[in-house]
Amino acid sequence: MGSGPNPIYWPSFLPQTGLNDGHTAPNVPGSKHIEYFSNQEMVTQRATMLNRGFLDCSAKGFVRDNISAGGQVGGFRITNPSGVTYHFSLPAYSYDEYTFTQKKDNVGGDRFNYLKNPNKYAYTWYLTAVTGPDYVDRNQDGLPSVGDWGYWVSLEYGQWAKEYRWRNPGENFNEELDKNFKSYSKGKKELYYLNRISTNTHTALFIKEIRKDGKGVTSSNENPVTTDIFSI
């Protein structure tokens, strides 16, 4: 602190951001800044989120989970030193995950372990918008759109699958490095694909067709593993 009638103090930069505990910290111009939002905040405190500069996602088929994933991070944004902000507001969830490991030598009976995780969690967040330091959401709808001021890019998605079933490997087992164990894992996850990228002056549409690769497993490959003791 300086002396005299005008001491040196921490300037009050606006807007202010910070942790979700009621304490704010200045978002210093020219610095990197990361801020996250929970699903519950996005749904139950939407007006507050909009005042904090939150931008939601535009994705067909997506419904924000305020129950089982309410406390999880539903989105975040990263601001670089130039003031450009990257918004990641579309979480994609994985759930019903299962991993099975078995000793290859079953002398004396099968020896194995397995791990189940039925709970959903976000395995990725999609980039949903890019905004400049001059961006203003004029209609306060939480989406970058024509009529808003400043620099903005909007990325819109569509849900391709709610229950994409994956298995690694697709059949049989992976052999562990020590050659003594074999394992496989499986689960379900959500998939989204990009439909449109828009700016104030241009729009790019993404036309898609059915893929010949990247297929999910069939139900027959999801049959439980049978051991000499019981079925899993």
Please answer whether residues 92 and 63 qualify as being in contact, where contact means their C-beta atoms are separated by less than 8 angstroms: no
| Residue 50 included in any domain | yes
Least confident of 52-56, 97-101, 213-217: 213-217
Domain of 194, in residue numbers: 28-93+121-163+189-222
| Residue ranges in 5-140 assigned as alpha helix (H) | 39-44, 46-51
| Residue 62 included in any domain | yes
Output the pLDDT for position 29: 57
| Residue 100 included in any domain | no
| Residue 47 included in any domain | yes
The DSSP bridge pattern shows strands 58-60 and 152-168 to be: parallel
Output the pLDDT for position 111: 76
Structural domains in the chain (count): 1
Residue 154's contacts (CB-CB under 8 Å, 6 or more residues apart) are 58, 128, 129, 143, 144, 145, 196, 197, 198, 199
| Residue 134 included in any domain | yes
Q: Write out pLDDT tens, residues 6-26.
A: 444 444 444 444 444 444 444
| Residue 137 included in any domain | yes
